């Protein structure tokens, strides 16, 4: 049975403009695994920042990681936030993993709030990681190996998560353009179901993939 002829309740269907399902487990499981790995790395970095271990692991930059993690910049961030940046990373990456596991393979339509919350957790985290890498180069003047690893993971997570966020936003945009009904848009965002919302989801699915 082709995608166009598939019933609306079939969960795992490719979503144009992509030739895959952005909410499919084949995409979400790798995201969750990478996020969990980044969380474990962040635990190690956090243990050093909190003083529970003497050195952070760094096979490339000698004590560069120690200098970065205990730099004036890191201490100022701790003073502002009340928690070390690595500990925040633990919470954020675990949030990525948990949110990545939640919902069905059609959560882009049936749980848009969850997909957008997932995007809010993944995308800003990646941007913050990139900013911290810039700080390493131009402010601290030292490099932290595991920090670079988690920053790379964050950018990969953005790349993988964006398409699901995009199709959820596209679905909500269809609902708004066709009905201009704030209440219906809210129902769509919350994942409620009725014939008009099912039709909006089917309209997105019926588009031609490039």
pLDDT per position as a tens digit, 67-120: 888 888 888 888 888 888 889 889 999 999 999 999 999 999 999 999 999 999
- Evaluate whether residue 76 is within a structural domain: yes
Domain of 154, CATH number, reads 1.20.1440.130
Question: Does a structural domain hold residue 171?
Answer: no
The burial class, CB within 10 Å (0-12 / 13-18 / 19+), for 135 is: middle
pLDDT of 6 > 80? The answer is: no
Residue 41 located in a structural domain: yes
Domain that holds residue 89: 25-162
Residue pair 79/125 in contact (Cβ under 8 Å)? The answer is no
User: Is residue 197, in this structure, part of any structural domain at all?
Assistant: no
In a domain, 7, yes or no: no
Q: Is residue 58 part of a domain?
A: yes
Mean pLDDT of 189-199: 92
* Domains of the chain: total: 1
Quick check: is 71 in a domain? yes
DSSP-derived 3-state class of residue 54 = coil
Tens digit of each residue's pLDDT (9 = 90 or more) over 137-153? 778 778 889 989 998 99
57, 44 Cβ separation under 8 angstroms: yes
Identify the residue with better confidence: 73 or 41.
Answer: 41
Tell me the pLDDT band of 210, cut-offs 50, 70 and 90. Answer: low
Residue 13, SS3?
coil
Q: What is the pLDDT of residue 208?
A: 65
pLDDT of 136 > 80? The answer is no
Q: What are phi and psi of 77, to 5 degrees?
A: -60, -40
The two three-digit tokens of residue 177, written as one number: 């353009």
Is 101 contained in some domain? Answer: yes
Which pair of structure tokens corresponds to residue 10? 């079939």
């Amino acid at each position: 049975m082709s995608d166009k002829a598939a019933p609306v309740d079939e969960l795992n269907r490719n979503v144009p403009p992509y030739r895959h399902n952005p909410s499919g487990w084949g995409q979400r499981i790798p995201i969750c695994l990478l996020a969990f790995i980044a969380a474990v790395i962040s635990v190690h970095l956090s243990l050093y920042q909190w003083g529970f271990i003497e050195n952070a692991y760094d096979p490339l930059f000698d004590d560069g990681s120690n200098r970065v993690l205990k730099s004036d910049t890191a201490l100022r961030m701790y003073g502002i936030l009340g928690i070390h940046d690595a500990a925040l990373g633990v919470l954020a990456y675990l949030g990525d993993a948990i949110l990545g596991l939640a919902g069905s393979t059609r959560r882009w339509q049936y749980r848009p709030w969850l997909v957008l919350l997932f995007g809010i957790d993944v995308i800003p985290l990646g941007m913050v990681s990139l900013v911290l890498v810039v700080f390493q180069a131009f402010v601290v003047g030292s490099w932290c190996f595991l920090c670079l690893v988690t920053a790379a993971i964050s950018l990969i997570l953005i790349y993988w998560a964006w398409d699901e966020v995009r199709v959820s936003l596209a679905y909500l945009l269809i609902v708004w353009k066709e009905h201009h009904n704030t209440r219906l848009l809210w129902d769509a965002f919350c994942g409620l179901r009725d014939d008009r919302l099912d039709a909006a989801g089917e309209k997105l699915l019926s588009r031609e993939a490039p």
